[in-house]
Amino acid sequence: MTQFILALDQGTTSSRAIVFDHQGQIRHLAQKEFTQHFPRPGWVEHDPREIWSTQLGVVQEALAGAGLRAGDLAAIGITNQRETVIVWDRASGEPIYPAIVWQDRRTAAECEALRAAGHEDLIREKTGLLLDPYFSGTKLAWILDHVPGARVRAERGELACGTVDSWLLYHLTGGECHLTDVSNASRTLLLNIHTGEWDDELLALLRIPRALLPGVRPSSEVYGETAPGLLGARVKIAGMAGDQQAATFGQVCLRPGMAKNTYGTGCFMLMNTGPGAVRSPSRLLTTVAWDRGQGRTYALEGSVFVAGAVVQWLRDGLGLIRDAAEIEALATGVPDSGGVYLVPAFVGLGAPYWDPYARGTVVGLTRGTTRAHLARAALDSVAFQAADLLGAMVQDSGVTLSELRVDGGASRNNLLMQAQADLLGVTVTRPRVTETTALGAAFLAGLAVGYWQSEAELEALWQVDRSFEPALGADERERRVRQWRRAVERSRAWAQEDEA
């Protein structure tokens, strides 16, 4: 197979382009950071033009680096930072306001007002999401309310909106395609995840004109071709998915009960729940994972707020290490944490506790506690939090986990991965290709154009770098989890009591 797949991975801080071959191996990767704008406290914006220019630039750089031309590509796949929203002029393609980024909190008051008016249950039932400024819908309403004339122009059909996938597709096709995929659409507060369509009741609630919105399509189909003259040859654009859903597909978690965890500053964990949307008593998110044109696949999603960030704290806050890479060697110097438990609730606790007033806690200190014990407790804290999250997923879904697939920077820490296997009691598997987000976009695009024939072919391509088998007995695992939960209880409601 002489052709290749190009994946565009448009993230929060950089735009990347990766060329994959038929074996799913990377031929070339190009990356360029772009500017973060913080106009007011709690506000985060990007320049949509810079997103587009950096993405186009790395496409050209990746092709040149791989020694290829556009005609050598079978297809392009897109994956993107989710929930970030852009509104632009349909005729000119120019944005009417900066992109409001998923991290932006400016619509917190609007979300609180919707909650106070009793709309949270309706939104949760239809979208699978929590009522939070994290998601796109209230950001979109804010732009329409604050840019002069925007709402009238939107109702007349003069404006277009979308998440970053839609923005890139629109410009790649020279304005021909105004579409999104169902995985990105499911993060907007506007899509009914049970029908796969924009919901009139939700649109009315958030005051979003339907004329503004992109068409909702499957995650794997040919949407259009690159505009003539853009790359030198017209290339099919054939796959789109939000970054965490794409990573789940790239990890080939294609059957119900398969799960992946991405270890970064925080952790994103997704479990495939198959064709059924599982409502979560633990307040995990129910989201569309993907749709290959044969029906939607759903997932439960949860996040750990502080994962790799606890290592940064040991480095920058306490000065225990000079470089994050030192943590594994330091922690390996002791057989265990010596009874020390660190709960990194620096910004509260997420699922399954949902306590914004929890604060960081270290318990079990003795005169014999050393730097190494604190380092070990810090790594253990990441594994404990992920185990809590996965336990909630298993309980909510009723599906037993057999394996956790891992990626992200901290997944390279062998001690952490072994701790994760020990605390879960299941195999933890790290793939050879860790660029799973881009690989997922490539897989979705390649399937749509017949570059790969089946999901079974993708499963055969997915290669293990290393598997970590649980080495703790069940009794010891339960003892450690019990102690961890005691430590968590001591961290809870701390700030609330302080304020009282």
- Structure confidence by residue, pLDDT tens digits, 146-158: 999 999 999 999 9
Section 410-415 average pLDDT: 91
pLDDT reported for residue 306: 81
Sign of CA dihedral 148, 153, 155, 158: negative
Which regions of 243-295 does DSSP assign to beta strands (E)?
259-263, 267-274, 285-291
Give the closest residue to 283 by CA, choosing from 395, 205, 406: 395
Categorize the per-residue pLDDT at 13 as very low, low, confident or very high, splitting at 50, 70 and 90.
confident
CB 275 within 8 A of CB 289: no
Section 426-433 average pLDDT: 93
Domain ranges of the chain: 4-244, 252-499
Would the annotation count 243 as a binding residue? yes
Give the closest residue to 359 by CA, choosing from 498, 485, 494: 494
Answer with the residue of higher pLDDT: 247 or 498. Answer: 247
Categorize the per-residue pLDDT at 500 as very low, low, confident or very high, splitting at 50, 70 and 90.
very low
pLDDT higher than threshold 80 for residue 2: no
> For the domain 4-244, what is the CATH code?
3.30.420.40
Would the annotation count 13 as a binding residue? yes
Phi, psi dihedral angles at 215 (to 5 degrees): -70, 145
- The CATH topology of domain 252-499 is Nucleotidyltransferase; domain 5 (3.30.420)
Mean pLDDT, the chain, rounded, equals: 92
Neighbouring-strand partners of residue 363: 341
d(CA 297, CA 215): 19
Would the annotation count 251 as a binding residue? no
pLDDT higher than threshold 60 for residue 220: yes
CB 6 within 8 A of CB 230: no
Collapse the DSSP code of 99 into the 3-class scheme (helix H, G, I; strand E, B; otherwise coil) and give the result.
Answer: strand
AA letter at 3: Q
pLDDT higher than threshold 90 for residue 109: no
pLDDT higher than threshold 70 for residue 499: no
CB 180 within 8 A of CB 408: no
Would the annotation count 82 as a binding residue? yes
> Measured between alpha carbons, how far is residue 19 from residues 7, 233, 235, 426, 438 in Å?
6, 16, 14, 33, 9
Q: Do domains 4-244 and 252-499 have the same CATH topology?
A: yes
Give the closest residue to 353 by CA, choosing from 492, 496, 481: 492
Collapse the DSSP code of 247 into the 3-class scheme (helix H, G, I; strand E, B; otherwise coil) and give the result.
Answer: helix
Would the annotation count 16 as a binding residue? yes
pLDDT reported for residue 409: 81
**Predicted TM-score (pTM) of this structure:** 0.88
User: What are the tens digits of pLDDT across the range 115-168?
Assistant: 999 999 999 999 999 888 889 999 999 999 999 999 999 999 999 999 999 999
pLDDT higher than threshold 80 for residue 356: no
Would the annotation count 312 as a binding residue? yes
Section 425-453 average pLDDT: 94
Chain centroid to CA 327: 25
pLDDT reported for residue 126: 96
d(CA 286, CA 5): 30
pLDDT higher than threshold 80 for residue 1: no
Would the annotation count 244 as a binding residue? yes
Would the annotation count 12 as a binding residue? yes
Categorize the per-residue pLDDT at 194 as very low, low, confident or very high, splitting at 50, 70 and 90.
very high
pLDDT reported for residue 498: 52
User: What are the tens digits of pLDDT across the range 285-323?
Assistant: 999 999 998 899 999 999 887 888 888 889 988 898 888
Structure tokens at 21: 């071959």
Structure tokens at 199: 């919901």
Whether omega before 352 lies within 30 degrees of 0, making that bond cis, reads yes
> Measured between alpha carbons, how far is residue 450 from residues 5, 219, 435, 443 in Å?
11, 15, 22, 10
Angle, in degrees to the nearest 10, between helices 371-397 and 474-491: 100
